[in-house]
Amino acid sequence: MKLSLLPWALLLLVTAPDPGPWPTAGAQGSCSHRCGVQDGPCSCHPTCFGLASCCSDIRDFCLEILPYSGSIMGGKDFVIQHLNWSNPTDSVICSFKESIQTRGFVDSSGRVHCVSPLLYETGRIPFTLSMDNGRSFPRSGTWLAVHPSKVSESEKSQLVNETRWQYYGTASAQGNLTLTWNTLALPTNSITVELWGYEETGKPYSQEWTAAWSYLYSLATSITNSGSFTFTPKPAPQDYQRWKVGALRIVNSKHHAGEKDVHALWSNEHALAWHLGDDFRADPVAWARAQCLAWEELEDQLPNFLEEVPDCPCTLAQARADSGRFQADYGCDIEHGSVCTYHPGAVHCVRSVQASPLYGSGQQCCYTAAGTQLLTADSTSGSTPDRGHDWGAPPYRVPPRVPGLSHWIYDVISFYYCCLWAPECSHYMQRRPSSDCHSYQPPRLASAFGDPHFVTFDGTNFTFNGRGEYVLLEASGTDLRLQARAQTRMTPEGSQDRGTGLTAVAVQEGNSDVVEVRLRDGAGALQVLLNQEVLSFKEQSWMDLKGMFLSVAAGDRVTVMLSSGAGLEVSVQGPFLSVAVLLPDRFLTHTRGLLGTLNDNPSDDFTLRSGQVLPPSASSRELFQFGADWAVENASSLLTYDSKFLVENFLLRPKHDPNFLPLFPEETTSSPSQESEAAKLCGDNNFCNFDVAATGSLRVGNATLLVHRQHLLRAQSLQPVVSCGWLAPPSNGHKEGMRYLVGSTVHFHCDSGYSLAGAEASTCQTDGTWSQPTPTCQRGRSSAVLLGVIFGGLAVVALVALVYVLLRRNKSNTAVWGSQP
């Protein structure tokens, strides 16, 4: 019996991977199958690097990759760092989400490669790695799949003159089309250019509704990888006419046609005008009109998604300040030159961050340079809501929640049909009307900054400079938790201030990911951690996470947008962090902590955990005890302890340092020269004056002054604005004015041949109503006609009178002449 097993044993030895010992799955001294685990004789958790407690093979099994991100379209080649394989092999399999497998390889340098798959979702995608052709997957890592618009242009193939591609076949677009790409991004001698089509089929809003990319046909095969391809489009066969949206893919010619999940360069998704049939080319306007009317008929059969999308902010200032619920639309961003192709006249558009809960829909809001919202009822440049949110919606993968692509199917290609290829834009705008701001409610703002100073949601100002970790905010309902660490500042002379400042902030809502933003040691820059692991933003500044979105701007400001609509902004200000928190009205009466009780009543902002309320007149020492009462408890801490210093000073010690005695406001003293300089810098700003006295640093005081001014400016931008809602022009007339906020006046005019019956103007009043309704324009009674009638009548009367006088005079003369001899 033993002899009969020998051939199989020898076979396993021959086919076994070359590199050294393979640890038993779950071995306690190894990270095989244990990434993220802290237990055991050594750690496989991200914090182990700073604590010097990692298993020796952690980099072999808990994978770091470069690049770490790519488009959801897939085809991106990435390299496993720190893992070298001595012999080239084709037994590499990369498994994404335990269900999608792609074939990897080992190159001649021993580096292990994987290829990202075609996905229908954005976010962090877990993957495992097998080096034995799928028998075991002991290694794991994370791939970041991003919206196609977030990918560098160098990673795509480029449609030269993309507008021409999308108008091809119309009167203005004929001839050749050209595709270009970076040959270094696809290192091969011979390539194939393929067309893929995207569609969503099945009964809308049912289990049968599915999304699919399909290989259609090749435009060229086995051509030289020159970086450019030019061709004259021909109408596609009838079998392929149902695909109206698609993208081009360039692959190595060694792959068979349509082979999935191979190294590739994709173009932008686009309207496939150039591939449409002879009926489109014969009469593109008639073809597009028919498609527009068919879309309109389908829309009328679908649920009304407009009822659950949020109202737009009333002004551009509000839209930019409400960063928890709205973010810049990459297609019209004032920070990037206001290139607003689809919204001429606008300088900035925002999109609702979160998709609507039931239908996965989105809101878009566009504004003029004057800050006025553009509405489709007034202009085709107006903002349009989306049946499919452009950024997609969890759980993604199914219509209409597929990032970017569902939006193309239900909102973009129909815009081409109705507005760009045919003059039927009124049909589109009627089913994608702009939302005005009549019921918009701005969020409530609270801030913490400087040494540290707090402005609560209800506007109470106070200073609490304890040393430790504290609860800034707890909110029932959504289980929102926001915690911060406060530390002393080391002066340039090497001593410690008697004041403190925020150095780390962590947030979680429900079972969402935990995001922590902290000051990087000695660098004056931000470091962001996701579930206690340091994130890199070298490739992407926007991440879709569990229960939130995360955005990083210029390395010194981080914005967290939570699924409840709450927003958090953390930035570096001087030696410390500043924090701004935005909460929508749903949080009214549901908050507690150092940022106060949100209920429009400042008198109860100093509420202790027990429910006891300190009076607004509480002394600075009483407020110090209020702050100490909100110290974090170890069992509920969201903060990370990944260094000896943090463990010894915060994890193993009381969360509020009882031995630290701060400088209280009434104790501040300064030299005459410092007082003079502080007065010149700070004026009557108490926060600034205190920080100069507490730290002896004008730089710290100036940072506090600036961030307090920013808070006041933002609070002003978020003041409620009264809107009277859209006011219609009169039939057979028009109006002047597209601003519908309090104090605005709209003037009415009639077309030629009509006259106004009613007021010539209407003003938006403080109660949200218009002073006058829209008048009517009545035929034949315009002022010009009326004046014509009057003057015409007078002319007739004058003519009759003149004739009469002449006749009388003639008769008189005849009588005289008759009496002469």
Closest-CA residue to 94 (of 73, 108, 74): 74
β-strand partners of 647: none
The structure tokens listed for 279 are 């009926």
By three-state DSSP, how is residue 7 classified? helix
By three-state DSSP, how is residue 711 classified? helix
How many whole angstroms separate alpha carbon 309 and alpha carbon 435? 9
pLDDT of residue 781: 53
Ramachandran category for residue 511: left, alpha or beta (phi over 0 → left; psi -120 to 50 → alpha) = alpha
* Residues whose CB falls within 8 Å of the CB of residue 274, separated by 6 or more in sequence, listed in order: 165, 166, 168, 169, 177, 233
Mean predicted lDDT score pLDDT of the chain: 90
Q: State the first-to-last Cα distance of the chain, in angstroms, to the nearest integer.
A: 171
Given a cut of 60, is residue 34 above it in pLDDT?
yes
Given a cut of 50, is residue 38 above it in pLDDT?
yes
How many whole angstroms separate alpha carbon 528 and alpha carbon 518? 6
pTM reported for the whole predicted model? 0.89
The pLDDT tens digits of the residues spanning 634-648 come to 899 999 999 999 999
| Region 61-78 average pLDDT | 98
The structure tokens listed for 789 are 């009638």
Task: Give the DSSP letter string of 426-438.
Answer: HHHHHHSPPP-ST
Q: Are 716 and 758 in contact (CB under 8 A)?
A: no
**Other beta carbons within 10 Å of 298:** 12
The structure tokens listed for 298 are 């389908």
The CA–CA distances, whole Å, from 119 to 70, 170, 215, 226, 351 equal: 11, 33, 15, 29, 23
Closest-CA residue to 703 (of 465, 493, 524): 524
How many whole angstroms separate alpha carbon 586 and alpha carbon 811? 95
* Residues whose CB falls within 8 Å of the CB of residue 601, separated by 6 or more in sequence, listed in order: 458
The pLDDT tens digits of the residues spanning 269-314 come to 999 999 999 999 999 999 999 999 999 999 999 999 999 999 999 9
The pLDDT tens digits of the residues spanning 104-117 come to 999 989 999 999 99
Strand order in the sheet with 444-449: 461-463, 453-455, 444-449, 576-583, 567-573, 557-562, 548-553, 542-545
Within its chain, how far is the Cα of 199 from the centroid? 25
Amino acid sitting at position 615: P
The structure tokens listed for 281 are 């080319």
Q: Are 593 and 604 in contact (CB under 8 A)?
A: no
Query: Per-residue confidence at 812, pLDDT binned at 50, 70, 90?
Result: very low
**How do 567-573 and 453-455 pair as beta strands?**
unpaired
The pLDDT tens digits of the residues spanning 691-722 come to 998 888 899 999 999 999 999 999 999 999 99
β-strand partners of 551: 542, 559
The dihedral sign for the CA sequence 359, 360, 361, 365: positive
- What are the φ/ψ torsions at residue 192 (nearest 5 degrees)? -125, 140
Query: Per-residue confidence at 527, pLDDT binned at 50, 70, 90?
Result: very high
Q: Pseudo-torsion of CA 536, 537, 541, 543, nearest 10°?
A: -10
pLDDT of residue 496: 72
pLDDT of residue 87: 77
Element (H, E) at 294: helix 284-299
Within its chain, how far is the Cα of 201 from the centroid? 27
Closest-CA residue to 439 (of 350, 318, 314): 314
The CA–CA distances, whole Å, from 78 to 70, 137, 718, 742 equal: 9, 18, 44, 56
* 225-246-120 Cα angle (round to 5): 100
The structure tokens listed for 598 are 């949100």
310, HSE (Cβ side, Cα atoms, 13 Å): 27
